[in-house]
């Protein structure tokens, strides 16, 4: 099974906050024009994975809001292939009520973004949110601020700040997104220390060299089993993410650079996120659809010594896999 842990859907970029125009203006015009987070595009992009996790977002600091209601409505159109996380801002009055509301709507976890929400991860209000999530048995995903705005407090995104959280709530399933970038080594020490702390790849698959460097570090820190698959849609797609993951060893091909064992790359793509985070599998979710694609891809790569041919073959397989399937239309 392939599970994409970080995807979002919105109808207007303004839902990301009043300052979202700051980084949108910094993007290449052609690149930004291609970013489409509409439900239809999400549907097509996710056809090569078995389940997509759809994230809400709330930041009073940035005046941003992708509501739990909108996430629940979208997830409810394909409950066997989507699950949702509620975007909660601990600095808001009623944050605990928002956690409870998300659960009542059928959402399976909570999303925080300390840098974008302007709170220290151990702020007393945030600690109450972690406590509630631990008591309810639901995971907390901490999104990295990959496109910070002028008001973003980047210092609050440091992974080491969550060491106290993990010690205070040892049974809380916690995901620090984006490999903790730019503090990746710090992140690897954190996930290696705490049994229930994980990370994901969102935001890193679009930087192949950075991804290669980071995963070599994860392998050397012996924490590859703590890395979960996430594309970060709509800023990237699972098709491109899987292709880039399986072609990472192109950097070491014919050089003295270290390579990453293929079984570990395959492990990231196929990791059972539901088992790691204690989430109940959606009813009717496929156990083999996406995994069979990944397995076939690895077998092709293991049989073919020509690296360029491997990458071309894999990319073609993935491209075929994302042709819209009429039975999945919402």
* pLDDT tens figures, 99-127: 999 999 999 999 999 999 999 999 999 99
Contact (Cβ atoms closer than 8 angstroms) between residue 269 and residue 294 = yes
Q: Check pLDDT > 70 for residue 285.
A: no
d(CA 237, CA 87): 21
| Dihedral angle, C-alpha 122, 123, 125, 127, nearest 10 ° | 10
Q: Is the pLDDT of residue 310 over 80?
A: no
Q: How confident is the model at residue 289 (pLDDT cuts 50, 70, 90)?
A: very low
Beta bridge partners of 59: 64
pLDDT of 268 reads 98
Q: How far apart are CA 197 and CA 250, in angstroms?
A: 30
Nearest by Cα to 116 from 56, 74, 186, 75: 56
CA distances from 38 to 42, 165, 190, 277, 307 (A): 6, 35, 35, 27, 35
Q: Identify the DSSP state of 282.
A: P
Please name which of 167, 285, 296, 235 lies closest in space to residue 24, comparing C-alpha atoms. Answer: 235
pLDDT at 194 over 60: yes
Other Cβ atoms closer than 10 A to 238: 28
Q: Which positions ≥6 away from 163 have C-beta within 8 Å?
A: 190, 193, 194
So what's the pLDDT on residue 282? Answer: 87
Q: What is the mean pLDDT of residues 147-176?
A: 93
The three-state secondary structure class of 247 is coil
Task: Give the CA radius of gyration of the chain.
Answer: 19
SS3 of 316, please?
helix
Residue 308 pLDDT grade (very low, low, confident, very high; cuts 50, 70, 90): low
Q: Which whole-number Å values give the CA distances from 35 to 165, 236, 240, in the listed order?
A: 35, 9, 14
pLDDT at 39: 96
Q: From the DSSP assignment, how many helices (H) and strands (E) are in the chain? A: 15, 10
pLDDT-wise least confident of 115-119, 258-262, 286-290: 286-290
| Pick from 65-79, 98-112, 166-180, 278-292: least confident | 278-292
DSSP 18-57: TTHHHHHHHS-HHHHHT----HHHHHHHGGGSSEEEEE-E
Tell me what pLDDT residue 64 has: 92
Q: Please state the length of the chain.
A: 330
Q: Write the DSSP assignment of 157-219 as a string of letters.
A: G-GGGGHHHHHH-TT--EEESGGGTT-HHHHHHHHHH-TTEEEE-TTTTT-HHHHHHHHHHHH
Is the model's pLDDT at 325 over the cut of 80?
Answer: no
Give residue-wise pLDDT tens across range 20-54: 655 554 554 445 456 899 999 999 999 999 999 99
Cis link prior to 182 (omega < 30° from 0)? yes
Domains located in the chain, CATH noted: 7-328 (3.20.20.140)
What's the CA gap between 203 and 142, in Å, rounded? Answer: 13
């Amino acid at each position: 099974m392939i599970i994409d842990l970080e995807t979002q859907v919105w109808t207007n970029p303004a839902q990301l906050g009043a300052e979202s125009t700051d980084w949108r203006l910094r993007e290449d015009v052609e690149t930004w024009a291609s970013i489409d987070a509409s439900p239809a595009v999400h549907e097509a992009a996710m056809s090569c994975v078995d389940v997509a996790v759809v994230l809400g977002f709330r930041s009073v600091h940035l005046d941003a809001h992708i509501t739990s209601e909108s996430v629940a409505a979208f997830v409810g159109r394909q409950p066997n292939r989507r699950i949702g996380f509620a975007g909660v801002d601990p600095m808001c009055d009623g944050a605990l009520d928002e956690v409870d509301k998300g659960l009542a709507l059928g959402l399976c976890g909570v999303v925080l973004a300390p840098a974008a929400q302007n709170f220290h991860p151990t702020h007393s209000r945030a600690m109450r949110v972690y406590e509630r999530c631990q008591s309810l048995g639901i995971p907390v995903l901490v999104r990295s601020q990959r496109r910070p705005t002028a008001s973003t407090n980047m210092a609050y995104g440091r992974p080491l700040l969550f060491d106290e959280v993990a010690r205070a709530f040892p049974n809380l399933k916690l995901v620090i997104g984006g490999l903790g970038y730019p503090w990746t080594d710090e992140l690897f020490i954190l996930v290696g220390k705490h049994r229930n702390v994980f990370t994901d790849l969102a935001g890193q698959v679009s930087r192949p060299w950075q991804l290669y460097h980071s995963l070599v570090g994860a392998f050397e820190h012996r924490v590859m089993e703590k890395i979960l698959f996430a594309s970060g849609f709509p800023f990237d797609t699972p098709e491109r993410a899987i292709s880039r993951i399986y072609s990472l060893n192109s950097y070491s091909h014919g050089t003295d650079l270290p390579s990453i064992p293929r079984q570990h790359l395959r492990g990231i793509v196929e990791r059972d996120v539901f088992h790691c985070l204690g989430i109940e599998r959606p009813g009717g979710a496929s156990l083999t659809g996406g995994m069979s694609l990944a397995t076939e891809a690895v077998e092709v790569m293991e049989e073919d010594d020509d690296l360029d041919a491997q990458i071309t073959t894999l990319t073609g397989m993935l491209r075929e896999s994302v042709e819209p399937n009429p039975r999945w239309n919402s």
